[in-house]
């Protein structure tokens, strides 16, 4: 690997899925993995195979579906975990096992109940065992941010000797500050004698809103892999957001001496896919992927003062994929075009009947809405799964699209299905409003969505979900132009 390449390691499917309420099915994980592969993410952490049979199958399915990215499975430093990961990754064209053990005094004493010497020994054994399955092995000293530096150096030197090719330093609890964390990475690289034999990586959490700042500080101090997630999804306050890390490095090439190999035009489509599948809305003012992230454009246009784009823009909306959100199909599109486009999105129909059902919904929609976007198609397929009796109905909330001058629109919100829930409702009408409105609700009522429109439907939707515990109203709204509120 050349020194100026920054490896992007996406853990949306593993750490991201650990966000409460963000669990994904195997097929959904494969769809996201395909989108990440299209974006040319270097490494996709697909799951934690030993955690459950479902996780195992998901990692296996991703390993089989992805060819251009390395597929990674997580494993504690235990034989059974590593063997399970190795097994799940068998179909992969390129695989990596990521094993970890805690190295901070508090974790070693309270959680592992192990002496430091034992921890070193177990880490080394784990790396050696992982090397039986693949020569691409990553090791993480968990809670490194609170570990003692001498001990950390000792563990890292030992695992590199044992064959670890990537050493990942996690700030597991999101406690570090950027200058501190950068210093830590620099110190480790300087002090560990064999540090040149491994890539140093970081994994930062956002408990203080510093995940991206800490990651970038580490990169400036020699880290050459960043672990991150789409939309910053992840445990608690989340992980470093992939889109922010990647676009900062790209935009500030005057500062960074490395670059990523990503196709950044896939960022927005990927963000929307993840948001649609998990039901986690992207806040409107979120950097890069929020609907307002490039909204200043319209103001400039209105005033007619667009003399120089660079005056107000440090990035171009189309470079991160806002323009990729193009019209893909219309009412005259045929079944083949429909199927082909969905295949491109990583969606395949198991039966002709599924295809036909989705296609007929597409025709209904195309009658009402002239411009059909990729997100609309994904929503149709989600509905298709719904009618086939899948046990999950997923949130499919996507924001309007004011940044690009296209007509804003949204997609229906879907919730987890609850079979015995009596007040589930079918969304009606051709506005996405139908998606969020409980069936007893009147406009302007407690959950009046119009009032909350700009806060995003999801906020309301999540309230519903929580208010009803396990049984949120399944939403099956259709898609239509959104009404601009004032």
| Helical (H) or strand (E) element with 101 | strand 95-102
158 vs 204 by CB, closer to Zn ion: 204
100 vs 362 by CB, closer to Zn ion: 100
Asked if 15 is part of the footprint of Zn ion (rule: CB under 5 A), the reply reads yes
Site stretch for Zn ion (CB under 5 A), options 14-22, 315-323, 376-384, 448-456: 14-22
Q: Is 434 exposed, middle or buried (0-12, 13-18, 19+ CB in 10 A)?
A: buried
Site stretch for Zn ion (CB under 5 A), options 8-16, 39-47, 284-292, 380-388: 8-16
15 vs 464 by CB, closer to Zn ion: 15
Residue 14 CB, shortest distance to Zn ion, in Å, is 8
CA 484, distance to chain mean position in Å, is 29
Three-state SS across 396-441?
Answer: CCCCCCHHHCCCCECCCCCCCCCCCCCCCCCCCCCCCHHHHCCCCC
Site stretch for Zn ion (CB under 5 A), options 9-17, 151-159, 448-456, 477-485: 9-17
Three-state SS across 212-271?
Answer: HHHHHHHHHCCCCEEEEEHHHCCCCCCECEHHHHHHHHHHCCCCCCCECCCCHHHHHHHH
Point out the residue whose Cβ comes nearest to Zn ion: 15
Residue 172 CB, shortest distance to Zn ion, in Å, is 6
* Sign of torsion over alpha carbons 455, 456, 462, 468: positive
Residue 148 CB, shortest distance to Zn ion, in Å, is 21
96 vs 272 by CB, closer to Zn ion: 96
Asked if 10 is part of the footprint of Zn ion (rule: CB under 5 A), the reply reads no
Task: Check: CB of residue 270 under 8 Å from CB of residue 232.
Answer: no
Beta-carbon neighbour count of residue 274 at 10 Å? 27
Site stretch for Zn ion (CB under 5 A), options 12-20, 139-147, 314-322, 402-410: 12-20
Please tell me the count of residues contacting Zn ion according to CB under 5 A: 1
Residue 15 CB, shortest distance to Zn ion, in Å, is 4
15 vs 138 by CB, closer to Zn ion: 15
Beta-carbon neighbour count of residue 67 at 10 Å? 11
Residue 229 CB, shortest distance to Zn ion, in Å, is 9
Q: Which residues bind Zn ion (CB under 5 A)?
A: 15
């Amino acid at each position: 690997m050349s020194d100026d390449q920054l490896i992007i390691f996406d853990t949306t499917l593993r750490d991201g899925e650990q966000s409460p309420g963000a669990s994904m099915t195997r097929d959904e994980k494969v769809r996201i993995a395909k989108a990440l592969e299209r974006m040319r993410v270097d490494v996709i952490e697909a799951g934690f195979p030993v955690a459950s049979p479902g996780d195992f199958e998901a990692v296996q399915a991703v390993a089989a579906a992805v060819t251009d990215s390395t597929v990674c499975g997580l494993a504690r430093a235990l034989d059974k975990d590593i063997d399970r990961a190795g097994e799940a990754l068998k179909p992969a064209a390129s695989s990596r096992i990521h094993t970890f053990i805690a190295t901070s005094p508090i974790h070693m004493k309270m959680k592992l109940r192990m002496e430091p010497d034992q921890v070193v020994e177990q880490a080394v054994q784990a790396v050696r065992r992982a090397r039986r399955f693949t020569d691409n092995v990553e090791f993480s000293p968990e809670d490194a941010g609170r570990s003692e530096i001498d001990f950390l150096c000792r563990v890292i030197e030992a695992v590199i000797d044992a064959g670890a090719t990537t050493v990942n330093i996690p700030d597991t609890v999101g406690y570090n500050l950027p200058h501190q964390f950068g210093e830590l990475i620099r110190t480790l690289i300087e002090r560990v004698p064999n540090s040149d034999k491994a890539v140093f990586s970081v994994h930062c959490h956002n408990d203080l809103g510093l995940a991206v700042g800490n990651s970038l500080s580490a990169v400036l101090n020699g880290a050459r892999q960043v672990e991150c997630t789409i939309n910053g999804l992840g445990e608690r306050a989340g992980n470093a957001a992939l889109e922010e890390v990647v676009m900062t490095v790209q935009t500030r090439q005057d500062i960074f001496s490395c670059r990523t190999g990503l196709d950044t035009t896939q960022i927005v489509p990927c963000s929307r896919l993840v948001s649609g599948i998990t039901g986690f809305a992207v806040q409107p003012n979120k950097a890069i992927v929020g609907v307002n992230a490039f909204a200043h454009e319209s103001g400039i246009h209105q005033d007619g003062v667009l003399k120089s784009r660079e005056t107000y823009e440090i990035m171009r909306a189309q470079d991160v994929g806002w323009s990729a959100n193009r019209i893909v199909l219309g009412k005259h599109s045929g079944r083949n075009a429909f199927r082909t486009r969905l295949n491109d999105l990583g969606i395949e129909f198991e039966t002709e009947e599924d295809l036909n059902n989705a296609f007929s919904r597409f025709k209904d929609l195309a009658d009402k809405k002239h411009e059909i976007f990729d997100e609309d198609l994904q929503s149709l397929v989600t509905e298709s799964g719904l009618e086939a009796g899948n046990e999950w109905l997923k949130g499919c909330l996507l924001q309007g699209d004011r940044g690009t001058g296209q007509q804003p629109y949204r997609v229906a919100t879907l919730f987890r299905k609850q079979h015995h829930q009596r007040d589930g409702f079918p969304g009606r009408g051709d506005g996405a409003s139908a998606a969020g409105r409980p069936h007893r609700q009147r406009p302007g009522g407690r959950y009046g969505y119009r009032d909350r429109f700009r806060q995003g439907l999801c906020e309301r939707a999540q309230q519903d979900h929580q208010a009803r515990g396990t049984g949120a109203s399944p939403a099956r709204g259709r898609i239509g132009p959104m009404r601009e509120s004032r």
